[in-house]
Structure 1
Amino acid sequence: MNKLLLSAGAGLCLVLSACGGAGGGKKDEAASGIFDPFPSTYAAYPSGATLITGATVLDGKGGLIEGGKVLIEGGKITAVGADVTAPDGAATIDAAGKWVTPGIIDNHSHLGAYPSPGVEAHGDGNEVSGPVTAEVWVEHSVWPQDPGFTRALAGGITSLQILPGSANLFGGRGVVLKNVPARTVQDMKFPGAPHTLKMACGENPKRVYGYGRGTFPGGAPYSRMGNVAGYRTAWIQAREYKKKWEAFAEGEGDEPLRDLELETLAGALSGDILVHMHCYRADEMGVILDLSKEFGYKVAAFHHAVEAYKIADKLAEYDTCSSMWADWWGFKMEAYDGIRENIPMVHNAGACAIVHSDSDIGIQRLNQEAAKAWSDGKRAGIDIPIEVAWQWLSLNPAKSLGIDDKTGTLEPGKMADVVVWSANPFSVYAQAEKVYIDGALMYDRDDPAIQPVMDFELGQPGEGDRK
């Protein structure tokens, strides 16, 4: 066990109790396409009352408070403002000259599924056995001992979505995690977060399955038009599957045989599973918007979305998010027309803009990635206040994951996922000094005892230690 797990062993005992069963035969679950035999067993680490004082507070919803205070009680935010009084017995943190923000949420990560060290034996993020693998769940590949999680924690990441890779048209289910040390992935699963579905368009699925690489059951795409035909075929099958279960729920006919692939797709059609779509080019995003209207599902977010600026008005009208890099471009043809002002231009059009990592390194400094995009927009005449731009890192990703009622802002009743920064977090010199998750201090830059270390990092004993 890592040091932090050992120090909070009493709290960890709480996470061993499961919450609910699979319910595979329940008609209501069947009709929605949602069966959950792997429920969250997350329980917050123990915490006390804490008052953070004297900071510049970004509340995550567009507000800035100079000399602000944030009160944490029972794992929740209970008060935010300039005039907040600490209850008896509360710990007081003097944050004068520092900044306080909601915890960063990365809605596109592969930590745990492609953990460190990055060796072939650890590569479990892509199920390349076919172009449609909606039946797989990435949480069954996540290794909680990935040192990438603690590195991300040191960068202020409090929650993150782990996605399958982009080899497939339908890559499988994603999972939303709280970034806490744990023994199983279920102990990290964000309580109440909807399931997600990873889809991919463009070069990746046609590259993996086309170009003479053979055929797979049900056919494989060799072109972009093959990709779209593959989506449509799968959605047609899922729609029929969903109808059978809905009829059964109404007492008509025999219970259908469960199909794990179609079960996930039916859940997306019912709106219970949120669709996250890897897509670079504006024209392809436009096709996917039309496709979603044809079959009646909603795209929660386009990921990478290098050309989102070209159709930002359409994205705003559709009410979807674009999860983007600050300045990655040109590493393949569909990424060629990227611009550094992409994120602020999407925001300026009234659409939901998100800064994501898709990187075990980038996730450690997402605040700096957002700062790059913010400054590029400012140079182009798009002057977005810092307190508004912070929504790219907390509120907007929370919206895309269906958890904005629980986290993403510093508001009374929300989870106390809070970061204390040494300076303006849009400065390259800023460091996350303290990171709270559900009110528990999970990382303290000044206290090595609260800097969790994974088992893998402890190394192997030498011969002299084996006696």
Structure 2
Amino acid sequence: MQTKARLLATALLALPLLAGAAQTPYPSTYQPVASGPVLIRNATVLTGDGQRLEGADVLMRNGRIAAVGPGLDAAGATVVDASGKWVTPGIIDVHSHLGVYPSPGAAAHSDGNEMTTPVTSQVWAEHAVWPQDPGFPTALAGGVTSLMVLPGSGNLIGGRGVVLKNVPATTMQEMKFPGAPHSVKMACGENPKRYYGGRGQSPMTRMGNMAGYRAAFIEAQKYRAAWDKYEAANGDSGRGRGKGNGGAEKPAQDLRLETLAGVMRGDITVQIHCYRADEMALMMDLAKEFDFKIAAFHHGVEAYKLADELAEEGICGALWADWWGFKMEAYDGIQENIALVDRPKNSCAVVHSDSAEGIQRLNQEAAKVMVRGERVGLKLPPEHAIRWITTNAARAIGVADQTGLLAEGKMADVVVWNGNPFSVYAKAERVYVDGALLYDRADPSRQPVTDFMLGQEVSP
């Protein structure tokens, strides 16, 4: 029989994150691992909202943060002495391809790009996520507790992304972050024009890219208007076939246009792979033309050129610390990019990975940004920089009301570090997901291994 605490945690996790998020097929079946209360005592705590608390405690109960502060007491709680250690929210990677481009990197595992036509908004990354990817537990060992898995960037509109809790599972649904909104992945620049132009198809140019986006959204506007008209007449928000109460025939369901209509309704976040400042500006105008909001530009090596505009529009910059120069549109990158995008007001700078290796050390990627920013005179202490991989990341993917912050009521996604997490020597010693200890560097029995890796020898 479930305990009252377990029932409460389940009920809390079932709450919707966004009022406009529609129920979808393939619902989350995620359930937090059962755990008792835990009190982490006497640590340096980075809460994720700019605070740094010395000698502070973090109390987790029923899968949630119950309290943060000095001198906490909790009868019956497991006490973890964190003297000399640091505690942060769990790291969130907003740009990952784990599960859709899993290890080993074989052609049979290449499930991230449905490059059959430039607009494939009908495909969902979650339908290709392989929970056996060995990258999930290695990311957990690096402190990553949640991640957004996206389709690749070969198409103008590549399909829907999915937010996952980084927990051992047999099915994608068991990892699916409850209530998190879907995203749509779009891509600017060289990738779509190179692939389709190389086959003698459109788009061959950046002109063709923009024309392709506009044509797709114009088509989706008509689809949305047809459904809005039908539902207004019939009081029916369903998507089934047949006639409604008003006798009118329902429009035929189109999965490709349904995603784009969801974007324009605000139910689906927009994540755009875009390197150059001029193209980001065009995409912001595209969003105004079709009345949708861009959640984040990803990669954006020239985002520093539009830092004020991004802050004004409330668009996150999900960026690499120092990748640049590997193709023409990446040529004008600078290592101060993220630090400059991090404006004083309303900005949302995020460090992302786009890498099965980089996701294991996002804390060190953030440390690179701190160093480069401080060299040009910016003040970027740990309590500020932690936002780039926690609070801001949660905002970019639409889950900031649930995680990314050590505050009462938030999911108890917590990492205990052996020292300053921005040191090159930093290691995640304990990783909690919804209050359950899922990784313990000192205990091999709490170091998850996927079924795929069972029986395989791994070098120490």
**Residue correspondence of structure 1 range 89-100 to structure 2 within 5 A:** 89-100=76-87
Deviation, structure 1 residue 33: 9.9
Alignment of 1:437-448 (within 5 A): 437-448=433-444
What is the match of residue 227 of structure 1? 209
- Name the SS for the 1:254 alignment partner: coil
SS of residue in 2 equivalent to 1:419: strand
Are residue 290 (structure 1) and residue 285 (structure 2) matched? yes
> Does 2:43 match 1:48?
no
* 2:376 matches 1:380: yes
1:65 and 2:53 equivalent?
yes
Contact 2:56-2:69 within 8 A present in 1 as well: yes
SS at match of 2:193: helix
- In structure 2, distance between residues paired with 1:246 and 1:33: 16
Post-superposition offset of 1:460: 7.0
2:320 counterpart letter in structure 1: W
Determine the C-alpha separation between the residues in 2 that align with 1:111 and 1:299. 23
1:465 counterpart residue number: none
Partner of 1:7: none
- Tell me which of 193, 196, 216 is aligned to 1:209: 196
Identity %: 62
> Which one of the candidate residues 129, 134, 145 is aligned to 1:147?
134
User: In the superposition, relative to structure 1, how do residues 155 and 224 fare at CA in structure 2: closer, same or farther (>3 Å)?
Assistant: same
Aligned with 2:107 (options 105, 120, 126): 120
Classify 1:35/1:417 alpha carbon distance in 2 versus 1 (closer, same or farther; 3 Å): closer
Conserved 8 A contact 1:47-1:440: yes
CA shift, 1:261, in A, is 0.1
Hey, what's the Cα distance between the residues in 2 that align with 1:348 and 1:163?
27
Letter in 1 for 2:230: F
After superposition, the CA RMSD in angstroms is 1.8
Task: Assess if the C-alpha contact under 8 Å between 1:313 and 1:349 holds in 2.
Answer: no
2:215 alignment partner AA: T
Superposed CA deviations along residues 315-366 of structure 1, whole A, max 9, x for unmatched, are 0111110000000000000000000000010103542100000000000000
CA offset at residue 82 of structure 1?
Answer: 1.3
2:394 corresponds to 1:398: yes
Determine if contact 2:183/2:269 at 8 Å carries over to the other structure. yes
Q: How many residues align?
A: 430
The answer to whether the 8 Å contact 1:33/1:263 transfers is no
1:194 aligns with 2:190: no
> TM-score, normalized by length of structure 1?
0.90
Aligned partner of 2:225 in structure 1 is: 243
Amino acid at match of 2:445: A
Q: What TM-score does the superposition give when structure 2 sets the normalisation length?
A: 0.91
- Which SS does the other structure have where 2:162 is aligned? strand
Runs of 4+ in 1 over 3 A off after TM superposition: 32-35
Partner of 2:249: 254
CA contact (8 A) 1:34 1:263 kept: no
Q: CA deviation at 1:425?
A: 0.2
Report the alpha carbon displacement of residue 459 of structure 1 after superposing the two structures with TM. Answer: 3.5
Q: Does 1:136 align with 2:94?
A: no
Q: Alpha-carbon deviations, 1:265-285, whole Å to 9, x = none?
A: 000000000000000000100
Equivalent-residue separation in structure 2 for 1:269 and 1:281 (angstroms): 24
User: Hey, what's the Cα distance between the residues in 2 that align with 1:33 and 1:375?
Assistant: 39
Aligned amino acid, residue 108 of structure 1: H
CA distance in 1, matches of 2:173, 2:212: 32
Letter in 1 for 2:43: A
Q: 1:342 aligns with which of 337, 344, 360?
A: 337
Aligned-partner SS, 2:88:
strand
The CA deviation string for residues 14-69 of structure 1, in whole angstroms up to 9 with x for no partner, is 99xxx99xxxxxxxx9xx89561111010001111000011000001110000010
* 8 Å contact from structure 2 (residues 311, 343) kept in 1: no
Unmatched segments (≥5 aa) in structure 2 = 1-5, 235-247
Counterpart-to-counterpart distance in 1, 2:195 and 2:40: 50
5+ residue gaps, structure 1, are 1-10, 21-28, 462-467
